[in-house]
Structure 1
Amino acid sequence: MKHGFIKVGTATPHIRVADCDYNTQQIIAQMKEAAAQGVKLLVFPELCITGYTCGDLFLQNTLLAECLNAIEDVCNASAGMDMLTIAGAPVLHDGKLFNTAIVFYNGVILGVVPKTNLPNYSEFYEQRHFSEPNGFTDTITLFGQEIPFGAKQLFVCSELPEFCLGVEICEDIWVPAPPSQVLALAGATVIANLSASDETIGKDNYRRALVSGQSARLLCGYLYADAGDGESSTDMVFAGHNLIAENGIILKESRLFQNGLITTELDVGRLSYDRRRMTSFPFSNGGCQKVFFSMPPKETTLTRPVDRHPFVPSARFDRNSRSEAILLMQSQGLKTRLEHSKSKTVVVGISGGLDSSLALLVAARAMDMLGRPHSDIVAVTMPCFGTTKRTRSNAEQLCMVLGVNFKCVDITESVKQHFADIGHDIDNHDVVYENAQARIRTLVLMDLANQTDGIVLGTGDLSELALGWATYNGDHMSMYAVNASVPKTLIRHIVRFAADTAEDEQTKQVLYDILDTPVSPELLPAKDDKITQETEQLVGPYELHDFFLYYVVRFGFSPSKVFRLAAYAFNGDKPDSSDDESGYDRETILKWLRVFYTRFFAQQFKRSCLPDGPKIGSVTLSPRSDWRMPSDASVALWLKELDTLK
């Protein structure tokens, strides 16, 4: 439960229709299996204690009496398990029979939730046996307990209030206004659905979309437990299609026609943050009653997928479609800016690196959209002390194959003159030495833009903005910044996509070589024409910083939670992680996380005055839209928490 992680599971037991004793044994066996795995919330299917397909047997006193005994057995079995268990059973209340979900915890029944919407069409005829609830919460007496009875109940963990559970049953999610809508608006971050959804061709896809969509709309975790093998096959078959979703993402899914248990972890802290952030997600009690339970906090072992590169889709097809979409968005933004400003040219500084190459590709696409020649793009390479033949050659070749207007402006003498003007020793390779080059390059670009009646295209990316890895009033400044909300890890994939899909071999080869070139500002003198200043050796690996950026900005996670996720994702929690070349040990992760927070706070002043640029993804640092932070905010609280970590 630490950091808001809750281990959850859905289980489909093998049952025998109307054999409550057998079904109870199967349910208790799966409860024990789940509890042994540390599950804190376990959901079983609809009417699993009796079986969903009992038909008119539901009206038999013998079945209902034995069902009560089974409910008591499940309740007793839950004692000492430290796990919420929800199982479906028919229950008599005020002389009427209800299709209910019973919430068990540590030897007591917390509540009984009746099904709100009873299907009575096609193969379903639930209204033949069951009654609809009256919409109010009252009490029912079971085994000497006075227990809340009603659909509008919220089960809240006293130690972790963000863990707030609501329950609905099967058809409830298929209707236009599901009960889960009311429950979520009243505070439920987790919805359990006990279902007996028979299988027909294509229904699994619809069910999957329904569950993921509902979890997205309600910003919640959604557990869907489905009836499976053992239900009557007289007119239907049941596949046991269990699903666990979180805010639109299916975290875990069972195979069809395979009974059993699936588990994962929900992050209720993440869900609560999103609800706070989205002020259009209102609070409305809706007449819901809260039932509190005490669950001692324990460390939750993570098994859920945590992607090392959260900005980059893992599947190749998704990466390619994402890359194409981003290129289109960037180009559309630039096209609109060029039309509005009536600019005759786009001036872009080309270094032979990833960022400037992507900006040049975007500029070419924008000109294609406008029906204008690529010669309206003025690409400028500005060699100086650290420029290598490799990057200069790549810059020239890319400009040539794209057919842009290429210029080479060697700024070496200008920088030397500038050093002489301000009295700076050229052998002193300090920040003045580096930043003077960046600022003179920007001066050249701005003046060329004035000369050609154009605008300067910014090339800096989101990762650099987060770290402040830009020279103030140097590469920090432009007239439109197309890469401003694209992180470095994603830029690499976009350029690779451009290379893979290029129509001519020369374009492919130059882009592939750019991809293989170390990331560097090339501001310090080269040695034997080799890059001596590699960015990731100075500020840390971009894949780590992009990971930190995503969880710090998008979800507001604490330093300890970001560290925990990074250690998990990059194998830092494994003893042999140092043997994994693509991983990082905990010490390394903590080192660069400290660098991230320190630089992120210290460099906000650069982000407070950024040029315009299109928003591409859910994380952006524009001071005009997504990120408003004072430039003099203190990092002390965040570093203090980091000091407690090992």
Structure 2
Amino acid sequence: MVHYITLATCNLNQWALDFEGNRDRIVESIKIAKSKGARLRVGPELEITGYGCLDHFLENDIFLHSWEMLTTILTNKDCFDILLDIGMPIMHKNVRYNCRVLAYNGKIIFIRPKMWLANDGNYREMRFFTPWSRPYYVENFVLPRMIQKITGQLRVDFGDAVISTLDTCVGIETCEELFTPNSPHIAMALDGVEIITNSSGSHHELRKLNTRMNLIKEATTKCGGIYLYSNQRGCDGDRLYYDGCALIVVNGEVVAQGSQFSLDDVEVVTATIDTEDVRSYRSLMSHGLQAVNQKENYKRIHVPIELSPSSETFDPSVSPSKPFPIHYHTPEEEIALGPACWLWDYVRRCRAAGFFLPLSGGIDSCATAVIVHSMCRLVADAAKNGNEQVIKDAKVVAGLLPESDYKPIDPAEFASRIFHTTFMGTENSSAETRSRAKELAAKIGAYHVDLNMDSLVGSVVNLFEVATGKRPIFKIFGGSQVENLALQNIQARLRMVLAYLFAQLLPWVRGRKSGGLLVLGSANVDECLRGYLTKYDCSSADINPIGGISKTDLKKFIAYGSTSFDMPILDDFLNATPTAELEPITKDYVQSDEIDMGMTYEELSVFGRLRKVNKCGPYSMFLKLYHEWSPKLTPEEIAVKVKRFYFFYAINRHKQTVLTPSYHAEQYSPDDNRFDLRPFLIDPRFSWASKKIDEFIAKTQTKTLDESDVLKVD
């Protein structure tokens, strides 16, 4: 008897509430899996609805439509002769569950609800679902009438059980359960489960993938077994990008890996496994002793099918898949690819005519422009490879008829159709930033407009003077700080007004009869955290691809783009001093971002991680930095920096409530939407914490004096 089994897992670009589209992508993945000889197909978490439906999961319609889609899958003959593991929400006894549905040849075998829900950071699953908190327990689930009619079934098992076929045993794990200390796969492995599936809705963060991959490898390194990981990929309508990387691991070794970033809506990876390898791997005495001493065992739901071929049907040319190292992208590559894929999903699904970017000549808007360029490169590569969905979507975005024979195979040519930039100059703008913006737009292929808005700014200032009899002047000319800030904000907010005017009308200027542009923001995560942006200025946009990326990482990305994208102009952006150019330039003064903020971008990244990731308040942050930054900085200098950060963070917290929806890429993102839930009216002095810091400094000074006295006595 041959024990080779071909298994399939997949990345699917599902879209929240796109029931028919999601269903079609599921069916396509099943067809591909079967064409590769797979006998088991695993799909992403909540793949019928899309993972990110949020409060739509509280609507009864979503459960009805999920069953309707499942009905069409169960009756589709293309989905027969393969064991299916499909994700959808299910209501059982008036309780909502996040479930996996196991089916074969048009019948439902078993429903397994998720036991441990993701409920922190970007996730609020317990807002919508209830965890199945009864390990090893199974009860009857009465199927909806529409299912009863097509399958002839009245009830199926619902709960925590495993599937037993004629030749192996399959267990189910869902996303967060892999990350828990006592993951279900441990007990399953000890109970003889050889194949474990994990269906996930896991999002991209910079440098996060290795954490997930290590956990997947560890799941079978210690316990042995076959682990199939499936993940959603793409932007399903929110701030997250789900980054795929479907994986098949055997006894701790990777034998199949899907891509992390791609414009393919359906990607199926398969591997052929010899289950005898699992049985040999588990032959350790310790494994056997722990297995027989388990206090509880899983109910086995028996299915009279074989996943491995019989000796009569075995193809001798088929051999087990070979192990290989996991592929990881560098952080610079992640920035180039993740936000680019996110932008593509957003623009094609909202049916916009492209993007509009206020291109200032600074590094942040430069990074945003280069990400759009990266998107155009991905579109061109996909079109060259014959991706019909990408070609079809590109025609829609570019305003071309479906019957057109156009293919977006040149990134710059495609950008000229869908990407629009404008340099909004004033008398405070330098010739260098203006020329950098123009040259970069030309290199990318963007439709570029160069304008001066001094007359517009002057009109607003004149209006204020007529209304009040007072005319504000810049601080450098003798004005107050209040006047100086107001004059900067006038320019910034007028740029936002102009951005939306141009985004709405530029397609019309170029001959398109309908469709507007998505306005792109360019505030990085450090500026958002510090509040170093004007509320409702040109940082206010439709979406922001760099809003979750640090300035430090953006600089590395620009350096990467200079060589990888053959854009030497990017070196000029990299070497320029970051400046908002909202104040007059004189021979003795040029506005500098870091001087304005009172801290460097590198320091902001440190403050951000300590505040969010390490969960530090002002006092604990000071203590950590005291040990990390001494003796380079004195305790007093460290205290000043910590207090300054928390002061500006607090007084600008209200700005986080209106941040442009941004691509989530960094763990210390201050996004107020749901990732960083904090009040926006805070005492900026943090008076008690400040007193504690001052007391600590006083003690260090006293200790220094005492040590000095001892030295003098000696």
Which has more radius of gyration?
1
Q: TM-score range by the shorter chain?
A: 0.3 to 0.5
